[in-house]
Structures are given as C-alpha cells and as structure tokens.
Structure 1
Amino acid sequence: MFYRLFLLLAILFEVTGTISMKYASLHGYQLGHIVMYIMITCSYLCLAIAVKQIPIGIAYALWEGIGTIFIIFFSITLFNDPMNGQKILGLIIIFASIALIESGEKTT
C-alpha cells in the first residue's frame, strides 16, 4: 500500500507538472515553468520509490497511462483542446490496457 501511494503521488505530480507547462507556455507565466520542474522532479522521485516494490513495467505503464488520461481530460476542460474519435479510441485502449495490467498484477 505504501508503494502504491508513491505511485499515485508520482502520477499526480506528473499531471500537475504537465498542466503547469502548458499554462506557462500559453500565458508566458515563468512561475509555471518553475512549478513544472519541481513537479516533474517530485514525480520521478516518487516513481523511484514506488518501483522498489512495484515491478518497473507495471509502475511505468500505470504512471504513463493514468497520467495521460488525466492530462487529456484537463487539456480538454482547461485549454479547450479538441476531442475527436481517435482520442476517444486511444482513451478506451488506455483504459483497457490499465485494466489488463492491474488484473495481471493480481494474478502474480
């Protein structure tokens, strides 16, 4: 449970850093770049702790997959990025992949 918490924190830091990067790029807000650097650093540090107990392939897949889902959601809601059929299909595939990875972890 302890290592899953660090994986969750890694995902949250990654999403926050990426959203800060986009915000700073759009608005020229330099503090956003500083937040991005700090959040991405914290994300990798938490991921490094998580992989002490969680297999790296599973941790990385969950970190990227769940992070991507949240980043797409926030890019649509905060930045009015367009949503199309390909993105929807991609999200469905990511959800399916995460479900398969999680079910595979429980059986091992």
Structure 2
Amino acid sequence: MKNWMFLFMAIIAEVIATSALKSSEGFTKPIASMVVVVGYIIAFYCLSLTLKTIPVGIAYAIWSGLGIVLISAVAWIVFDQKLDVWGIVGITLIMAGVLILNLLSKTSAH
C-alpha cells in the first residue's frame, strides 16, 4: 500500500513541478524555478521507490496518465487553457486506459 502512496506523491509532485514550469517563464522567475527543480526531484525519487514493487510499465502509465489529466485540469483552472471537445475525448481515453490497467489488467501489482 505504501508504494501506491509513493506513486500518488510522485504524481502530485510532478503536477506541481510542471505547473511551476509554466510559471517560471523559461527559468527567469527564481521561486517558480526552484519549485520546478524540487518538485521533479521529489517526483522522480518517489517514482523510484514505487518501482521496487510496481512494474515500471504500470507505474509509468499511471504516473504519466494521471499527470496528463491533472495538468490539463490545472492548465484549465489556473492558466485559462480550455480544452475543445477532442481534447476532452482524448483525456477521457487516457483516464479509461489508466483505469483498465489498474482495475482489469493482471500485469498490475495489487
């Protein structure tokens, strides 16, 4: 169970870091730039802990899939970057893929 918590922490850290990457304006804003660096360090460290028990393909699929969904939500709310219908369809398909991998696939380490 704690490995899934590490994966969740990796996803949250990556979302924070990626959001700050937009705010860093090409690493010209020092505070936002530090959030990017620290966030990615935390994200990759937590992801590495996750990989002790969760297969890399599953962990990465969940990490990147949920990261895409959450970053899209943050971009919509914080940066006013709206998705069109096809963008929403794509995000929905990504979420479906993550759910299928996690709930139905025997590849996942439960």
Scaled by the length of structure 1, the TM-score of the pair is 0.92
In structure 2, the partner of 1:32 is 32
Identity in percent:
27
- The structural deviation recorded for 1:107 is 8.9
1:97 aligns with 2:97: yes
In structure 2, the partner of 1:61 is 61
In structure 2, the partner of 1:7 is 7
In 2, the alpha carbon distance for the partners of 1:99 and 1:12 equals 18
- The structural deviation recorded for 1:82 is 2.1
Letter of the 2:101 counterpart? I
Runs of 4+ in 1 over 3 A off after TM superposition: 105-108
In structure 2, the partner of 1:86 is 86
CA offsets per residue over residues 62-92 of structure 1, 9 Å max, x none?
0000011000000000000121012101111
In 2, the alpha carbon distance for the partners of 1:42 and 1:107 equals 23
Contact 2:14–2:67 (8 Å) recurs in 1: yes
- The structural deviation recorded for 1:24 is 1.6
> Aligned residue pairs: how many?
108
Local SS of the residue matching 1:25 = coil
Local SS of the residue matching 2:42 = helix
| Structure 1 unaligned spans of 5+ | none
Contact 2:20–2:36 (8 Å) recurs in 1: yes
- The structural deviation recorded for 1:30 is 1.7
In structure 2, the partner of 1:43 is 43
Q: C-alpha root-mean-square deviation of aligned residues, in Å? A: 2.0
Compared CA separation, residues 82 and 50, structure 1 to 2 (3 A): same
Local SS of the residue matching 1:90 = helix
Scaled by the length of structure 2, the TM-score of the pair is 0.90
Compared CA separation, residues 107 and 4, structure 1 to 2 (3 A): closer
Compared CA separation, residues 3 and 107, structure 1 to 2 (3 A): closer
In structure 1, the partner of 2:71 is 71
